[in-house]
Amino acid sequence: MFFEIISDLTEVVLISKGKGVRSRNKLQKKYGLGGTWRKMKGQARIKLPTGELREA
């Protein structure tokens, strides 16, 4: 499903960091070895293709 983020991210929470990120190997192959990888989640208002606005 395609959507557009129309607000800033809020309630951002760290889920895992560094070696705790399971897809780290894939990320390192695509973007390189530098940096500390972080997996995060948060809330934002989005607009669906139908024009409907939702919190996600």
Choice between 36 and 8, residue whose per-residue pLDDT is larger: 8
Two tokens at 24? 């780290």
Place of tokens 């934002």: 44
Instruction: Give the residue extent of every domain in the chain.
Output: 4-55
Q: Which of 35, 56, 38, 31 is nearest to 46 (CA)?
A: 56
CA atoms of 21 and 36, how far apart (whole Å):
10
At 10-33, the pLDDT tens digits run 999 998 887 777 788 888 888 887
Q: Assign 50 to helix, strand or coil.
A: coil
pTM: 0.60
DSSP structure class, residue 25: H
